[in-house]
Structure 1
């Protein structure tokens, strides 16, 4: 599909000219970025994170399985969320939101990139026939993913337009991404998708990816339980957990304060008690 890998070339230039040590590449093109993976497979300075249709190696180009984690110094710096199960059902917003909250963002935040490069292919968007993708992502979902990535690297995020063959889908999706890059709020993801649970094929893929990557990224333990939740359910769950932690911390502080208040009283009680020697006298 590509003769020149603009993201890989730009990343190498950032390393050479600016001496950047931590560059994150997020590739959400529906096809695996086999060239990008190959270029940085042994490079710990570049974290390559791809979300793509894989179908157990039966979807073009067939690379990018979950066990492809890098080699040598780059081991653990190659992460593939390799969707399988074909189009029964097709992946949509709910599945990509689950991937972002349980794998992409936790690992990306742990990595602390100096800049984020995005292989922004839009062939996972609604409107592409099965041979070219067949997935059902909305423009709003692409905007949301961009907005999430803007939390990293002090907002130093670069999107490089890549795959996409349906002109309206490309235009609408790119527009939402630009909104996010400008600091504006993109259109919200639909309530139906926010409430929808990820399909079982997606859950299986995410669980397999976490199992493979856990030794490299222990942070995934904290989000693994959210894999099967809807976006809305995961948000409520995190909020409840945060409230519980805050309540426990508050209770602990109250107990400490109470203990400190009681200690002077105890001290005075001890000081007024007669010593055994005084009683003898």
Structure 2
């Protein structure tokens, strides 16, 4: 498990629920055992510090930016320092190191997708926002963002057509028509 799987879980489960819940403040117990550098018995995940910075930036969109990170774990000092630095940098509003294109283009592994499907199946009974997430579960982050942008563009276009039709109907009723002169 690495950046790709965490980004997918965040995109399809964590953020939709968090947005629907609309917290007043977000408290994060920042355990960095998942940062690359820990031995398998101590985590064995392969998350980069960049990913932790990106996830922190996502959480900052909640609760008007009221976000508290509390350092609580990790065993590899270098990994903890790198991840902490990325998170603090995000909190300060600094520009983050970009996530590599290969990560943005990669789809989450099958085991992660299967686990997230189970989570969505159970949690969608309680969180309506998750129903929409299922369609992009196995997508790469780039694919999912592209689909979201396409969907937003479609909704916007349909809304403008709806508004345009209302204005056309009102003009026909409200504006007097000039009568043709009789010859």
* TM-score, reference length from structure 1: 0.61
Of residues 126, 135, 151 in structure 2, which corresponds to 1:225?
135
CA RMSD of aligned residues (A): 1.5
Query: Residue 198 in 1 paired to residue 108 in 2?
Result: yes
User: Match for residue 159 of structure 2?
Assistant: 249
Of residues 63, 84, 88 in structure 2, which corresponds to 1:178?
88
| Segments of 4+ moved more than 3 angstroms | none
Structure 1 distance, partners of 2:98, 2:177, is 63
SS of residue matched to 2:129: helix
CA-to-partner distance for each residue in 1:29-84, whole Å, 9 max, x for gaps? xxxxxxxxxxxxxxxxxxxxxxxxxxxxxxxxxxxxxxxxxxxxxxxxxxxxxxxx
Aligned residues: 178
Aligned residue runs from structure 1 range 113-262, under 5 A: 113-262=23-172
By relative contact order (CA 8 Å, sep 6+), the higher-ranking structure is: 2
Give the structure with higher Rg (CA): 1
Residues 268, 189 of structure 1: CA spacing in aligned structure 2 closer, same or farther, 3 A cutoff? Answer: closer
Deviation at 1:92, TM superposition (A): 0.7
Structure 2 distance, partners of 1:255, 1:159, is 49
Structure 1 distance, partners of 2:3, 2:159, is 36
* Higher normalized helix content (fraction of residues): 2
User: Match for residue 57 of structure 1?
Assistant: none
Structure 1 distance, partners of 2:165, 2:64, is 39
